[in-house]
Structure 1
Amino acid sequence: MPALDMPLEELKCYNGKSPKPQDFDTYWEKALKEMQAIDPQIELIPAPFTCDFAECFDLYFIGVKGARIHAKYLRPKNRKQKAPAILQFHGYKGDAGAWYSKLGLVAEGYCVAALDCRGQAGKSEDVGGVTGGTVMGHIIRGIEDDPQELLFRHIFLDTAQLAQVVMSFEEVDETRVAAMGSSQGGALTIACASLVPEIKLALSTYPFLADYKRVWEMDMTRRAYEELHYYFRTRDPRHEREEEIFYKLGYIDIQNLCTRIKAKVIMYTGLIDDICPPSTQFAVYNKILSKKEHIIYPDFGHEYLPDSDDMNFKYLKEILEKK
């Protein structure tokens, strides 16, 4: 079996190296209260993209810190009953994706909401003092301020708020909602299911944003995690604040959030993933307490995993269509 990380038997027992802040639970309970106090000012604007069997909207709502958040929202026409819903989360630096890519799920009878992460390639606002996208650097954004200013705190809350907005729609069966995504989207799937216990199914493919200290110790901060490399080189070249930095990153480490999940979790991992190391993914999976299944691809890395889309569709059908 190809080896990039620990042997598989060790991975199955690995529980992470990054610290969990002592006030972690209080931090997130306070964050959720802040989000729940917001008037989201929901807007559904008919999209220029049209389809015979789907209604397509640009969905906007106000998130934490006053940011205007955007998602693409599609629902079946001629609905006769409440429909299941799927929340989609994209990869790092990306956006919600093409309208066309969601039509198969809508044709099957699902409502679909695809989030634009604030400050990345889509239409959601980043209110951190600049206009437009910032390309990357989101892991360390706010690291030198109070932990409540961490940008991924706000993005995690955006996923939870999207879930609550969609669940409030009269056409949606709030008891049959799934979250799904790959890489950053896989991490946001875990975050959303952690913060919204009503989520029924989480489909997470090679999740990002986990076990930052392990990434650092493996010297794998050259691609998705390269901002950690540049941060230390430019802001803390002698690592005098290393302990403090990794402690703060613990607030936005999904391995620390995932114990809250109630949903069934399906996770996909390639054992030669050199972007999100397998051990960081296992650190998450091994802490999940709800029903779960880990689908392993020994010869694959951070790439398309054969049959994974078909398996995801099977899980959506099996779990979301149960009354």
Structure 2
Amino acid sequence: MPLVDMPLDQLIQYEGKNPRPADFDAYWERALTELDETPPEVELLPSSFQTPAAECFDLYFTGVRGARIHAKYLRPRSKEGKHPVVLQFHGYSSNAGDWKDKLAYVSLGYSILAMDVRGQGGYSEDTGGVKGTTLNGHIIRGLDDHEDHLFFRHVYLDTAQLARIALMLPEADPEQIFACGGSQGGALTIACAALEPRVKKLAPVYPFLCDYQRVWEMDLAKDAYAELRTYFRYFDPQHQREAEIFTKLGYIDLQFLAERIQGEVLMGVGLADTICPPSTQFAAYNKMTAKKRYEIYPDYGHEYLPGFDDKAMQFFLGQY
């Protein structure tokens, strides 16, 4: 099989390279306090897209720093009583996707919430700059400011706010709040379950935003991680601040939030992934203490993993 990283027997022992900030826990407790003080101000608007089986809504809520965040919300028309809710997160630069893609969960009697990440390809606003797309540089946004202003800090808190909203829905079964997504969506799935431990099951696929220093040392700071190289070239060309920079990125490194997860985990990994290297994914997986398992695709990279979505659905159904 192709090998772009460590062999599997080493991956399942790997503990990560990126430094963990000394005040990491205090940092996230402070962040969650800010979230506690942010009223969600939920607005539910019927969408122009409707089906006989699903009620479809544009849901807006307020995240930290006053940003209005958008999500697509679909719930089954015929289901009575409380039922599961799936939280879905998208890849870097993208958006919540088409309504049609979510109907499979509605057919099971589940509701689904699919969030647009602030400042990317959907309708969520980024109040840290101009409204509209602010794609290039989201990992490094705020790196030269106080760590409380890191962009992905706010996004991670948005995922927790979304989970809190799901838990408040009158139709939601609070014992069956699930989360899923791939790449950036896999990262946000981990962030969501870490910051809102009432998420009961999560199915991340090749999660992004893990172990930045390992990405750098593998010379893979390109594609999704290209802005790391850009930052060093423009703002630290002799790497005099390298330790400081990676330590600051540690605040938004999912490997350190992963240990907070209490829900059950099913993670999909392609061993030929050069976008989010397998070792960076396992840096997070290996720190999870909750019940967990992984599905390995030896010949696959950062791409569709055949059958994994089916396994994730069966996992949520309690059949896998």
Give TM-score, length-normalised by structure 2: 0.99
- Whether contact under 8 Å (1:201, 1:319) holds in the other structure is no
SS of equivalent residue, structure 1 residue 258: helix
Q: CA deviation at 1:237?
A: 0.5
Q: For residues 261-285 of structure 1, what are the alpha-carbon distances to aligned partners after superposition, in whole Å with 9 as ceiling and x for unaligned? A: 0000111111110100011011111
Deviates more, 1:158-167 or 1:76-85: 76-85
Correspondence 1:83 to 2:83? yes
Q: For residues 52-78 of structure 1, what are the alpha-carbon distances to aligned partners after superposition, in whole Å with 9 as ceiling and x for unaligned? A: 111100000111000000000011113
Q: For residues 174-230 of structure 1, what are the alpha-carbon distances to aligned partners after superposition, in whole Å with 9 as ceiling and x for unaligned? A: 111000000000000000000011000010000000000000000001111000010
Correspondence 1:39 to 2:44? no
Q: CA separation in 2, counterparts of 1:319 and 1:160?
A: 27
Gaps of 5+ in 1: none
Q: CA deviation at 1:136?
A: 2.6
Matched ranges for 1:72-111 at <5 A: 72-111=72-111
Aligned positions, number:
320
* Consecutive aligned runs of 4 or more in structure 1 exceeding 6 Å deviation: none
Q: CA deviation at 1:7?
A: 1.6
SS of equivalent residue, structure 1 residue 57: strand
Name 1:197's counterpart in structure 2. Answer: 197
Gaps of 5+ in 2: none
SS of equivalent residue, structure 1 residue 290: coil
Name 2:306's counterpart in structure 1. Answer: 306
What amino acid does structure 2 have at the position aligned with 1:82? K
Q: CA separation in 1, counterparts of 2:181 and 2:23?
A: 28
Q: For residues 220-255 of structure 1, what are the alpha-carbon distances to aligned partners after superposition, in whole Å with 9 as ceiling and x for unaligned? A: 011110000101001110111111110000000000
Correspondence 1:160 to 2:167? no
SS of equivalent residue, structure 1 residue 269: strand
- Whether contact under 8 Å (1:91, 1:181) holds in the other structure is yes
Matched ranges for 1:1-323 at <5 A: 1-318=1-318
Deviates more, 1:90-99 or 1:122-131: 122-131
- Whether contact under 8 Å (1:189, 1:203) holds in the other structure is yes
Q: For residues 73-120 of structure 1, what are the alpha-carbon distances to aligned partners after superposition, in whole Å with 9 as ceiling and x for unaligned? A: 011113311010000000000000000100111111001000000000
What amino acid does structure 1 have at the position aligned with 2:230? Y
Aligned-pair RMSD on alpha carbons?
Answer: 1.0
SS of equivalent residue, structure 1 residue 225: helix
Q: CA separation in 2, counterparts of 1:52 and 1:283?
A: 44
Q: CA deviation at 1:19?
A: 0.7
Q: CA separation in 2, counterparts of 1:162 and 1:129?
A: 22
- Whether contact under 8 Å (1:116, 1:122) holds in the other structure is yes
Q: CA separation in 2, counterparts of 1:38 and 1:222?
A: 35
What amino acid does structure 2 have at the position aligned with 1:52? P
Q: CA deviation at 1:25?
A: 0.6
- Whether contact under 8 Å (2:187, 2:204) holds in the other structure is yes
Q: CA deviation at 1:137?
A: 1.1
Give TM-score, length-normalised by structure 1: 0.98
Q: CA separation in 1, counterparts of 2:129 and 2:54?
A: 37
CA distance change for structure 1 residues 243 and 319 in 2, over 3 Å: closer, same or farther?
farther
Deviates more, 1:195-204 or 1:78-87: 78-87
- Whether contact under 8 Å (1:271, 1:296) holds in the other structure is yes
